[in-house]
């Protein structure tokens, strides 16, 4: 995937994260239980962190396959972790709780791949 893909994907997911945060703060506060609202906020927060990670992947894509793997790991993590929490909260699909840890593991793998990519390239994204 191109640098442009990762930066675009991250930017769109960040925009959706901001929108989801606004919806949570203004529309869902009275509709969700306290625990559900906390879980929703966690989903939004992790979506934002990893959307920024995708943008970093685009900026550091000179690392080749490792940087691309980090991008895919972040994308899978957002879908599994944040998507799993959103589905659990809104669709009441209890089985989605089992997908969430895989998303967390994908986030960890993505950050480690991005770190390894930067280490192996010997340069930063701003070089």
Task: Give pLDDT tens digits for 50-90.
Answer: 999 999 888 876 657 878 898 999 999 999 999 999 998 88
The ranges assigned to domains in the chain are 3-121
Contacts 24+ apart (CB under 8 A), 114-122: 114/53, 114/56, 114/57, 114/60, 114/63, 114/66, 114/67, 114/70, 116/66, 117/60, 117/63, 117/64, 117/66, 117/67, 117/70, 118/60, 118/63, 120/63, 120/66, 121/60, 121/62, 121/63
The band of 124, judged by pLDDT with boundaries at 50, 70 and 90, is low
Please tell me the total number of residues recorded for the chain in this structure. Answer: 127
Burial class (CB in 10 A: 0-12, 13-18, 19+), 43: buried
Distance CA 88, CA 33 (A): 13
Q: Which pLDDT value is given to residue 46?
A: 94
Task: Give pLDDT tens digits for 4-34.
Answer: 888 998 999 999 999 998 888 888 888 888 8
Task: Give pLDDT tens digits for 84-121.
Answer: 999 988 888 888 889 999 999 999 998 988 888 777 76
The band of 126, judged by pLDDT with boundaries at 50, 70 and 90, is very low
Whether pTM > 0.85 for this model: the answer is no
């Amino acid at each position: 995937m191109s640098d442009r893909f990762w930066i675009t994907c991250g930017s769109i997911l960040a925009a959706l994260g901001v929108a989801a945060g606004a919806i949570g703060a203004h529309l869902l506060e009275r509709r969700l239980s306290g625990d559900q609202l906390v879980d929703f906020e966690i989903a939004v927060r992790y979506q934002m962190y990893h959307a920024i990670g995708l943008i970093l992947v685009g900026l550091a894509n000179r690392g080749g396959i490792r940087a691309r793997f980090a991008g895919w790991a972040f994308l899978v993590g957002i879908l599994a972790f944040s998507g799993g929490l959103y589905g659990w909260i809104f669709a009441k699909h209890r089985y989605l709780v089992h997908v969430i840890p895989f998303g967390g593991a994908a986030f960890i793998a993505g950050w480690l791949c991005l770190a390894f990519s930067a280490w192996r390239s010997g340069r930063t994204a701003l070089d």
